[in-house]
Amino acid sequence: MATWADVSRLALALPEVAESSSYGNMGWRVKDKNFLWERPLRKGDFEALGEAAPAGPILGVRVADVGVKEALIVDDPGVYFTTPHFDGYPAVLVKLDQIEEAELAELIVEAWLNRAPKRLASQYLADHQRR
């Protein structure tokens, strides 16, 4: 299962990514746009989730749209979830200790592609299609 070290390694391997922190939590940005962040559950999250609230580390991931978010949650609710705080927002929460590294890598690249400037994302895709 994945760790924060895996998240950091995978994110920082992408072009123009910087690690940052906000309120003491880790985050990763591309050109000043947040695409991944550590998201501990808050009091309201625990109240909303009740017994279903996960105990392990939580990664917030920006996705293309709410439809993608909903599809991820339906496809694998053991890994993906949301809270009322993120209603209507294109981000999904990930139980980091439940996701395989290969799936995490794919999720991180997709999040990066959604937030990176178009020219940078296009160059990345062109470079990686040749391999």
**Tens of pLDDT along 70-124?**
999 999 999 999 999 999 999 999 999 999 999 999 999 999 999 999 999 999 9
Amino acid at 97: D
What residue ranges do the domains of the chain occupy? 4-129
Looking at the whole model, is its pTM more than 0.85? yes
Residue 103 to residue 59: CA distance in whole angstroms: 13
Q: How confident is the model at residue 129 (pLDDT cuts 50, 70, 90)?
A: confident
Residue 81 token pair? 């979830």
Q: For domain 4-129, which architecture applies?
A: Alpha-Beta Complex (3.90)
Quick check: 69 and 91 in contact, CB under 8 A?
yes
**Tens of pLDDT along 10-62?**
999 999 999 999 889 999 999 999 999 999 999 999 999 999 999 999 999 99
